[in-house]
Each structure stands twice: as C-alpha cells, then as structure tokens.
C-alpha cells in the first residue's frame, strides 16, 4: 500500500511520465511484494525557477518519495532502489538523476478502508519481505 510522489521538471510527455510510474510500480511489485492493483502515485511537475536541485544534475532529475508501512529489511530496500534506478535508465534517466526517499510510517498512522487504522486491518499479505 505504498504512496508514491514523483517530482520532475515540466515538459515531459504523458508517455514518459507513465513509463516512470510503471518502472516504480513494477519495482515495488518485485521487491515489496505489492499487488498490481495497489497503485497510488502522483506526479508533481516544477519549472526550473521553482525547484533547485543538486549541482551536476540534468533536466531529467527525478525525486521519488515512497511512503510505506515499516518492516522491510535493509537488503530488500537496497534491492528496490537498484531496481528502480535500472528501470529508469531504460527511460533515458541517468542513475545520477534519481533520488529516492523511503519513509516508513507506523501502521496506526494510516486510515484505510473507510477510516480504519491499518494496524487493525487484515491486509491479506505479509508485509515483512
């Protein structure tokens, strides 16, 4: 049940943004064992004057913020990061232009399925992978 926020510079085509979204989602399916239907992503687009990025980065710079339940191992997270970066390379985004920030929020901080605390819901899968 990850929540994904993708930030990039304006001017990318709808097809390019979809390829980024799919690369991230497919990586999460592989390494975090999420289901195909568990797709919750938003894209924020910025002009150059509205977003200052690190020196040496290009107009293809992308910031990916992933908010998830806690419980995955460090190795699983590392594998996820590598998978995302490798898949984004196929879209023309260099590894140096990818920044991933993973945020783990306690399950009691998520109100899901009609406002029920996520720690009280049988999610039907093992989140500890």
The pLDDT value recorded for residue 108 is 79
Task: Say which residue the tokens 């049988």 belong to.
Answer: 122
The pLDDT value recorded for residue 126 is 59
The pLDDT value recorded for residue 125 is 58
The angle at the Cα of 32, spanning 114 to 18, to the nearest 5 degrees, equals 80
**Angle, helices 74-89/14-31, rounded to nearest 10 degrees:** 150
> Which domains are seen in the chain, by residue range?
3-120 (3.30.429.10)
The pLDDT value recorded for residue 127 is 57
Give the Cα separation of 19 and 79 in Å (integer): 20
Q: Is residue 88 exposed (0-12), middle (13-18) or buried (19+ Cβ within 10 Å)?
A: buried
Give pTM, 2 decimals. 0.88
The pLDDT value recorded for residue 96 is 97
Helix (H) or strand (E) holding 21: helix 14-31
The pLDDT value recorded for residue 128 is 57
Give per-10-residue mean pLDDT for the chain (129 aa).
Answer: 94 97 97 90 97 96 95 95 98 97 85 77 63
The pLDDT value recorded for residue 69 is 87
């Amino acid at each position: 049940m990850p929540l994904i926020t993708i930030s990039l510079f304006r001017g990318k085509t709808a097809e390019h943004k979809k390829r980024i979204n799919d690369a991230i989602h497919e990586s999460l399916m592989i390494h975090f064992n999420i289901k195909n239907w568990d797709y919750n992503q938003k894209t924020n687009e910025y002009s150059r004057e509205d977003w200052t990025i690190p020196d040496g980065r290009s107009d293809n710079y992308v910031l990916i913020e992933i908010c998830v339940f806690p419980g995955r191992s460090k190795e699983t997270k590392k594998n996820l990061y590598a998978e995302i970066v490798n898949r984004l390379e196929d879209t023309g985004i260099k590894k140096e232009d990818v920044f991933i920030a993973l945020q783990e929020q306690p399950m009691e901080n998520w109100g899901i399925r009609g406002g029920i605390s996520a720690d009280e819901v049988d999610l039907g899968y093992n989140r500890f992978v």
